[in-house]
Structure 1
Amino acid sequence: MHRKILPLTLAVLMIFALAGCGQDVVATVNGEKITGAELSQRVDEAKASMEKQGVDFSGDKGQTLTESLRKQTLDEMINNKLFLQEARKSGKLTKEQVQDKINIFKLQFTSTEEYNQFLAQIKMSEEDIAYILNMQDQVAKDIPPVSEDDVKKYYDENKEQFTHPEQLQVRHILFFVDDGSKGYPVQHTDAEARQMAEDVITQLKQGKDFAALAAEKSEDSGSKNNGGLYTFSAGDAVQEFADAASALSPGQFTQTPVKTEYGYHVIKMEKKIAAGQYPFEEIEQRLTEQLNQQAVSDKFSSMMQEAKNNAKITNKLTAKEGDTSKQ
Structure 2
Amino acid sequence: MPTRVLSLSILASLLILAGCSKSEAPRAAAAGPTVATVNGKPISQSEFDLYVQTIERQSGRQLPEEQKSEVLDQYIGMHLAADAAEKQGLTKQTSVRDQLELARINVIVDAALQKYLEDNPVNDEELKPEYDKQVAAMPREYHARHILVDDKAAADTVTQELKAGADFAALAKKHSKDSSSESGGDLGWFTPDSMVKPFADAVVALKPGEITSEPVQSQFGWHVIKLEDSRASAPPPFEDVKDRVKLLVQRKKLQAYLDELRQGAKIEKNLGDVQS
TM-score tier (shorter): 0.3 to 0.5
The structure with higher relative contact order (CA 8 Å, sep 6+) is 1
The normalised TM-score by structure 1 is: 0.29
More helix by share: 2
